[in-house]
Structure formats: C-alpha cells, structure tokens
C-alpha cells in the first residue's frame, strides 16, 4: 500500500524545491516528479490542480520549450481539451504570510 501525499506536504516540497533550484517561484513540474516516485504521478496531478483551485498555486504553460528536454516537457500536465501543457508552478502568497525567500534579510 502506498503512502499518500498531502496538499500541505506537496506545497512545502514545492517551496523547498523552488529555493534549491533557484527557480524564483517559477518551478518546472519535472523537479517535483523527480522527487516523488513515479507511482505518485496521478496523485501529484490531482493535488496540483486542487492547490490551484484553492488559490494556493498557479500553474502555467511553457512558452519556449527549446531550453528543456523532451522528458522534462513530458513531465508537465497535458490538457487534452486545450492542447497545452502546464509546466510551471508558482506559489501564491497568502494574506498574512511572508514570502519565505524574502525572509533571509530579516
């Protein structure tokens, strides 16, 4: 039986990976997939969509695929109805929360 990933854990991992990869709050989804075993792929897709629906993250498409490999691009979330691939994750700062990346100067 596989362990479930919670929204809270995934959101924390997104913030952590963004800092580690210096993605400036524009984290490619393949970094998330690289961290979790492949059998979590559908769970990750669902959780990312739920987090976006709750206004905690924003998912965006890849405009210039030339700088990424085919495998990296394939790690995105392909939307059949529109033909686009969601590729980047950005955390939306919630009211009352400090941006963790900007607290280093405190």
Q: Is 95 in a helix, a strand, or coil? A: coil
For the chain, the average pLDDT equals 88
Which pLDDT band holds residue 97 (cuts at 50, 70, 90)?
Answer: low
Predicted structure pTM score: 0.83
CA 106 to chain CA mean position, Å: 27
* Nearest one of 14, 29, 24 to 60, comparing CA atoms: 29
Residue 48 — left, alpha, or beta (φ > 0 → left; ψ -120 to 50 → alpha)? alpha
The stretches of 1-106 forming alpha helices (DSSP H) are 7-21, 29-35, 41-53, 70-74
- Pairs from 15-21 (Cβ < 8 Å, separation ≥ 24): 15/91, 15/100, 18/91, 18/101, 19/100, 19/101
Q: What is the DSSP string of 59-82?
A: EEE-S-GGGS-HHHHHTSEEETTT
pLDDT digits (tens, 9 = 90+) for 43-80: 999 999 999 999 999 999 998 888 999 999 999 999 99
């Amino acid at each position: 039986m596989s362990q479930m990933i919670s929204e809270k854990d995934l959101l924390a991992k997104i913030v952590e990976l963004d800092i580690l990869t210096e993605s400036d709050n524009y984290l490619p989804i393949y970094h998330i997939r690289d961290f979790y075993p492949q059998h979590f792929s559908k769970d990750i897709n669902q959780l990312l969509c739920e987090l976006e629906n709750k206004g905690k993250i924003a998912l965006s498409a890849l405009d210039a695929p030339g700088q990424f490999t085919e495998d990296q691009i394939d790690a995105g979330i392909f939307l059949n109805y529109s033909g686009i691939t969601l590729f980047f994750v950005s955390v939306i700062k919630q009211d009352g929360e400090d941006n963790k990346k900007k607290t280093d100067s405190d």
